[in-house]
Structure 1
Amino acid sequence: MSQILVAALYKFVRLDDFQALQAPIQQVCESHGVMGTLLLAKEGINGTIAGSAAGIRAVLDYLRSDARLATLTHKESWADTMPFYRLKVKLKREIVTMGVPDIDPETMAGQYVTPEKWNDLISDPEVVVVDVRNDYEVTIGSFQGAVNPKTESFTEFPEWVQAQSSDTGLLRKKKKVAMFCTGGIRCEKSTAYLRSQGFDEVYHLEGGILKYLETVPPEKSLWKGECFVFDERVSVGHGLTPGEYELCRACRQPLAPEDKTSVYFELGVSCPHCHDQHTPEQIGRFRERQKQIELARKRRERHIGAPIEEQKAAKQAMKEKARQAALARQAQVVTKKQA
C-alpha cells in the first residue's frame, strides 16, 4: 500500500511579509520530514509537498493557522516512494510566472466550474476550450477538443491571447472561453488576464485536471491520455494513479514507453527531444551521473539526483529553446505584414 501522501496546494492572497514566512515554514516542513517545493510571493503561495500523512497534515495545519491562509485548499494523492529529493521553500516575484504586472487573480479570476459540471460546459458548441499548460504537458494528455496554444512557457501565454483576440482569432469566434490546467493556479491567472483584456464569459476548471481525474469516473470522462505532474511520478491517470511516463534526466521532458525504443534514447543521458542539444562535456557528466545512480541502486541507496549545475543547464537549455521559438514566431509575423 502507498505510504507517501502528496499534497498540491496554492492560494492567491496578499502576503506583504512573505519573506518572513520562509524560515518558519521551512522549519515546520523539516521537523515533520516533509519534502517538495513551496513558492512564496507577495501574491500568495504555491507548491507540492510529500511525506507521511501525519507530517503533511501538520504542515497544512500550520499554514492554515495564518488567517490569510485559513481557506487554503489542497489536492491529495498517494505515491509508493518519496517523489521529491529535497525540500525547497523559495521566494519569488510570482507564484506562477506570467510576467504581466497588476494581474489580480484573487479578485479577477473567471468563474469556477466544478468537475461534475465541466463536461457539460466544454461540450457546449459556443465554448472555446483552451489548455493553458505548456506544450510538453499537453502532448501526453488533454481534454477532447481542447486548443493547445503550443507555448513553451507560461510567459508566452499573453502573446498567444493577443494573437487570437483579433476578429478572426479563436477567442473571438465563440461567446465563451473555458480554461484548464494541472491544479488550477495557471487558470486563475490566465482567466484574470483575459478578463483584464475585456473578455466577459470566462470559466475555468475548479481544482484543475487533478481534481477532475480524482472526481470523474473514467467511463464518464472526456479526458484523453495522462496528466503531467511536477514530481518523480511524472504523470497520473484517472484516480490519480501513477501513469506510464518517465522523465528524461537530461531535458526533463516526459517520455512515453515508445520514446525509450528510439535510437536517440540513452538512459539518463538523452532522448528524442534533446539528443542534439547538449555539449560533449554535458553528455559526459550525464553518463557519470547515471553510473552513480546505478551504483547507488546496487547498494540499495537512493541517489539524490542531478547536481544543481546540471539541473540549471537543462532548464537554461529549455528557456533558450523557448526564446528561439518566440523569435521565430515574431519573424513570421513581420514577414506576413511585409507581404
Structure 2
Amino acid sequence: MAIYKFASLPDAEALKAPLAAFCCSGGIKGTLILAPEGINGTVAGSPDAIDALAEFLFVSGPFGDRLVGAETKYSFAEEAPFLRMKVRLKPEIVTLRAPEADPSKRVGTYVEPEDWNELIDRNDVVLVDTRNDYEVGLGTFQRALDPKTASFVEFKDYVAKNLDSARDKKVAMFCTGGIRCEKASSYLLSQGFEEVFHLKGGILKYLEVTPKEESRFAGECFVFDERVSVGHGLELGSATLCRACRHPLTEADRDHKDFAEGLSCPYCAGDTAKHEAAAERQHQMDLAKKRGTAHLGDAVKEIAARAKAEKIARAEESRARNSEG
C-alpha cells in the first residue's frame, strides 16, 4: 500500500509508537513518514495484514477519521520488497520549508487525468513541472516549464523569479504521484495566485489511464524504485541508474564517452570518490560472478522484469481494488 494525505497531526510523535507496533505485529515492512502535516509512505505485507492496516489507519486506530480520503494505491509483488519496518518522524512529509503552504486547509483545483489534456492545451494556462531536474530530464508534458531545481525547497525561488500572480492567471502543475504538486498548489495560493490546478494522481495515474495516442507526455517517468522509469500503461521504461552517482540515464547518456558500465556517467565524470566506490562494487560483482553466486546489485534487472510481468498479470486486480477505496 502506498499512501499519503495532508492532515492535521499535531500528535504525530505520540502516533509513532502505536503505528510501528501495529505494523510489526502484522509482519508489515516498509517506511511511513509522520509529520504534523500528515502521512506519506509505502509498506508491504500479506493481503490480510494490509487490510488490517487500512482499518487501523482509517477507522479503529488513534488517527480517528483524520486519514479518511487519503490517496491510497495497492499493488502486488511475489516477494517482499522491503527488509524492515520504519516509522519516521519529520517536520514535513514533503519538504518545502514554507509554513504558509498548508494543503490540509487549502489546495488548488484537482484535475482528473481524463480532463488534463483539455486544460493544458489552453493558451492561457501556464504549465509547470514541480519535479527535480533529473526527473524532468527523462520525460515531461509538452510545453511544460522546467524549474531546474535540485530539490523541492528551491521551488519557492523559482516561483519568486519566474511566475507572477498578476500575469499568470491560470497555473497548472504536476508531479510523479500527486503529493508534491498538492503542496506546491497550496504554496502558490498563499502567494496570491488565484487559479491553480494540479493533476490528480500525478503522472503515474495519467500514464495508466490515458491512451498512448492521446498522450501529451513525452519520454518516461522516473520512479523511486528498481524500475527506474515507466512509460505509457506503466510499462517498464528504458532508463537505468548510474551505479556511482544514482543519476537516471537515458540511452543517449549510456552512449556518452564518459559512461562506463557500473563505474561512471556524464553526470559524475569528475567525481573520483564515487568512481572508486563504484569500481570496488563492480569488482565484488565480478568476483560473485566467478563464484557462480549473485551479487546484490546484479539482481536489479531480474527484479524489474519480474515487476513488469507481475504488473501486467495483476493490473486488473489492482485497478479493481483501487476503485473500491
Structure 1 residue 304 displacement after superposition: 11
CA 1:35–1:252 in structure 2 vs 1: closer, same or farther (change >3 Å)? Answer: farther
Equivalence for 2:139: 141
Give the stretch that moved more between structures: 288-297 or 7-16. 288-297
The change in CA–CA distance for 1:273 and 1:182 in structure 2 (over 3 A counts) is: same
Where in structure 2 are the equivalents of 1:55-74 lying within 5 Å?
55-65=49-59, 66-67=63-64, 68-74=66-72
The residue type paired with residue 262 of structure 1 is: H
Percent of aligned positions that are identical: 53
- Out of 278, 281, 284, the residue aligned to residue 286 of structure 1 is 278
Cα distance change of structure 1 residues 79 and 107 upon mapping to structure 2, 3 Å threshold: same
Alignment partner, residue 121 of structure 1: 119
1-side partners of 2:276 and 2:28: how far apart? 33
Root-mean-square deviation (Å): 2.6
Secondary structure at 1:11's aligned position in 2? strand
Q: Is the 8 Å Cα contact of residues 251 and 274 (structure 1) preserved in structure 2?
A: yes
Counterparts in 2 of 1:92-131, with a 5 A limit? 92-131=90-129
Evaluate the alpha carbon distance shift between residue 80 and residue 172 of structure 1 in structure 2; reply closer, same or farther with a 3 A threshold: farther
CA distance in 1, matches of 2:217, 2:294: 38
1:270-285 aligned at under 5 Å gives the runs 270-279=264-273, 282-285=274-277
Q: 2:206 aligns with which of 203, 212, 226?
A: 212
Q: How does 1:93-242 map to 2 (within 5 A)?
A: 93-166=91-164, 173-242=167-236
Structure 1 position 113, deviation (Å): 0.7
Q: Which moved more, 1:99-108 or 1:49-58?
A: 49-58
Q: CA deviation at 1:51?
A: 4.9
Cα 1:79–1:269 change in 2 (3 A) is farther
Q: TM-score normalised to the size of structure 2?
A: 0.80
- Equivalent residue of 2:72, what SS? strand
Q: Hey, what's the Cα distance between the residues in 2 that align with 1:84 and 1:190?
A: 30
Structure 2, unaligned stretches of length 5 or more? 300-325
* Amino acid in the other structure paired with 1:24: P
Between 124-133 and 295-304, report the one with greater CA deviation: 295-304
Corresponding residue pairs, total = 293
Choose the corresponding residue for 1:12, options 3, 6, 9: 6
| Paired letter, 1:46 | N
CA 1:10 to 1:296, structure 2 compared with 1: closer, same or farther past 3 Å? farther
Structure 2 residue 250 is the aligned partner of structure 1 residue 256: yes
Q: After superposition, what is the alpha-carbon deviation per residue over 1:62-107, rounded to whole angstroms, capped at 9, x for unaligned?
A: 3223321122221344567665555432211110001112321112
Residues 192 and 27 of structure 1: is their aligned pair in 2 closer, same or farther, counting only changes over 3 Å? same
Structure 1: distance between partners of 2:278 and 2:154: 30
Say which SS state the counterpart of residue 105 (structure 1) adopts: coil
Q: Which runs of 5+ in 1 are unaligned?
A: 1-6, 306-339
Deviation, 1:59, is: 3.3
Query: Normalised by the size of structure 1, how large is the TM-score?
Result: 0.77
Q: Deviations over 1:44-69 (max 9, x none)?
A: 01123345545544433332233211
Counterparts of 2:46 and 2:40, CA distance in 1: 20
Structure 1 residues 174, 102: CA separation in 2 closer, same or farther (over 3 Å shift)?
closer
Write the distance in 1 (CA, Å) between the matches of 2:282 and 2:54.
36
| CA distance in 2 between partners of 1:82 and 1:294 (Å) | 27
- The answer on whether the counterparts of 2:169 and 2:193 sit within 8 Å (CA) in structure 1 is no
